[in-house]
Amino acid sequence: MILRLALSLVLLSAPAMAEPPQRILSLGGSITEIVAALGATDRLVGRDSTSTFPPQVQALPDIGYFRALSPEGILSLSPDLILTESGAGPQETLDILQAAGIPLVAAPDDTSPEGLATKIETVAAALDLPEAGRTLAAEVTRGLDAAKARAATITDRKSVLFILSLEGGRVMAGGAGSTADSMIRLAGGTNAATGFGGYKQITDEAALAAAPDVILLMQAEGDRTLTDADILSHPALSQTPAAAKGAILRMDGLLLLGFGPRTPQAAADLHALLYPAGE
């Protein structure tokens, strides 16, 4: 039933194809990872800017961010199927693609273990690889079950504040229901950011009141990099228990927040960072 509902999220329709799609445009890092894990990398003709794993997909044409699509770049690749995370846009571009008859399938946006399995099976069904999809979904579900069991053994849980950005000195944090929140809980931590959902800017007072044991950041390069000095010089973050202990952790952003086939690995990696052996 869940998979049928997920497949109802096909946004654009086209006549049924006699052959499985062979020219696939993948939009969203987790979708591209699923396509690769299903053994269909050779069918990809393009990707979006968030699709950076596995490394070989970086050689594919990059059509930009999947929430700010340009129809010209997509049409130039002549895809016979577009697979995307939810939220692709803008709508004007989707309308043009619909008029061009290109089918587009949006996978469900659900960070629960059941939601991830459904996402995998949705992509697999669109690729006409249902058996491979069931196998991969079962493997990932086992990994997530192991992560939940590992997290359940933690009695003294650390509170974790995930900071997405610090533009203009304003803390953009991951609240309830965000991918960061789901990953923190899978790793055996508690989310220090409370009282709001998704990713939002919080006040200095809220950041100070969160009193995280750990501050979690994404690994980044260039202007997007948040350094320890940025955290330790911030008027509120510098006063947190995490800053006092130097407990500032980083993980690859796509691994941490992508919610794809590597999510069990991400949960294990974050757990090891939060609770080092012998601590």
12, pLDDT greater than 70: no
Mean local confidence (pLDDT), 209-218: 98
Classify domain 159-274 at the CATH class level.
Answer: alpha beta
Amino acid present at 68 = A
How does residue 109 score in pLDDT terms, banded at 50, 70 and 90?
A: confident
190, pLDDT greater than 90: yes
Mean local confidence (pLDDT), 148-170: 96
Mean local confidence (pLDDT), 52-57: 97
15, pLDDT greater than 60: no
What pLDDT does residue 8 have? 41
245, pLDDT greater than 90: yes
Are both 2-145 and 159-274 of the same fold? yes
Mean local confidence (pLDDT), 138-158: 97
What pLDDT does residue 221 have? 64
| Structural contact between residues 230 and 168, judged by C-beta atoms closer than 8 angstroms | no
How does residue 1 score in pLDDT terms, banded at 50, 70 and 90?
A: very low
Q: Provide the percentage of residues in the chain whose pLDDT is more than 70.
A: 91
Mean local confidence (pLDDT), 15-24: 75
111, pLDDT greater than 90: no
What pLDDT does residue 18 have? 57
220, pLDDT greater than 80: no
Q: Provide the percentage of residues in the chain whose pLDDT is more than 90.
A: 85
Domain ranges of the chain: 2-145, 159-274
Which CATH number is associated with domain 2-145? 3.40.50.1980
What pLDDT does residue 5 have? 41
170: left (phi over 0), alpha (psi -120 to 50) or beta: beta
129, pLDDT greater than 70: yes
- 199 contact partners, CB below 8 Å, separation of at least 6: 164, 172, 173, 174, 175, 178, 180
276, pLDDT greater than 60: yes
**Alpha carbon of 70 to those of 45, 51, 67, 196, 255: distances in Å?**
16, 17, 10, 33, 27
DSSP secondary structure code for residue 176 in this structure: B
* CA R_g for the chain: 20
Mean pLDDT (the chain, rounded):
92
